[in-house]
Each structure stands twice: as structure tokens, then as C-alpha cells.
Amino acid sequence: MNEELDETPASARLAELGIELPAVPTPVAAYLPALLSSGQVFTAGQLPFVDGQLAGVGKVGAGVSPERGAELARIAALNAIAAAASVAGGVDGIRRVVKLVVYVASDPSFTGQPAVANGASGLLQEVFGPRGSHARSAVGVAVLPLDSPVEVELVIEASAASF
């Protein structure tokens, strides 16, 4: 697909939205937050940390509402953007979002994972405009690290200047 992509810098969009890119959260185990390889950035799973603290715990559909899950997915996506930017030469080194995976720790009867994932998808589209449109998976799981309700992974295409 060769669509014309809006080249408005992501840093300008973040400023317009009043969103400050957070510091990259410290990994909770032995891994890199993000890795640049062959022009693509792969993030590790990012949790909804705010100022070093997990912003919520529990399962969506049992103690965590779907709306709160979507808010937490948005926070985790912001952390994923920060991780990607850290290896892409800054947020403006991100050419486009390729793939988003949102894991949702869910009550067994909960089937609204796509609505939870919309929190992350919406942020990516706000920050990157048409370049934020992406392929996506929304996956229900039994449990996530630290009892987080959500975890977000991104695959990003970096600009040529980044590698």
C-alpha cells in the first residue's frame, strides 16, 4: 500500500496533545526495552507504569473495568512509544507504526479485549496520524507480569536517519 503519509512530526503532535513522553520504564527482568534491527524497532512488552509505579492491577472483567483497561492500555502504549523512541533517535525517528499487540489479563468470561486495545490504538493514531494506523492483535491471557491488567508490544518502522 503506497498511501500518502502525513509527515507532521510526532513531537509536534505530542505537544499539541499536551502529552510528555515519559522516561523509558526500567525493565522488570533481563531484557532490553526496545531493539532496532534492520530498520524496525521491536519493543519488549510494556506495562502501564506511571512514575515508576504500576497504574493498576487485576483482571479486566473482574475488578478492572473495560474502560479502565483501555486507559491502562493507553498508558502502556505511551511507554512503548518512549521505548521505541529511545532507539530510533527520538520520537521523530519513528516513521510509522507497523504492528501493535495488546495482551489483556482477563476474567475467563470477558471477551472485550478489542475494546481494551482501542486505548492503545487510539493513542498511536493521535500521536502519529495516518502513520499510526497499524495491524493489531488483542489477546486475552490468564495473567501478566506484576498482575498488570495489560501489556503492550509495538513493531515500528524507523526513519532511514535512525539506522
- Domains of the chain, with CATH numbers? 42-162 (3.30.1330.40)
Q: What is the pLDDT of residue 1?
A: 42
Helix (H) or strand (E) holding 11: helix 10-17
Does this model's pTM top 0.85? My answer is yes
Cα–Cα distance, 48 to 19 (Å, whole number): 15
Sheet holding 94-105, edge to edge: 34-37, 40-43, 150-158, 94-105, 135-141
Is the CB of residue 69 less than 8 Å from the CB of residue 97?
A: no
33-82 pLDDT, tens digit per residue, is 999 999 999 999 999 999 999 999 999 999 999 999 999 999 999 999 99
C-alpha R_g of the chain: 15
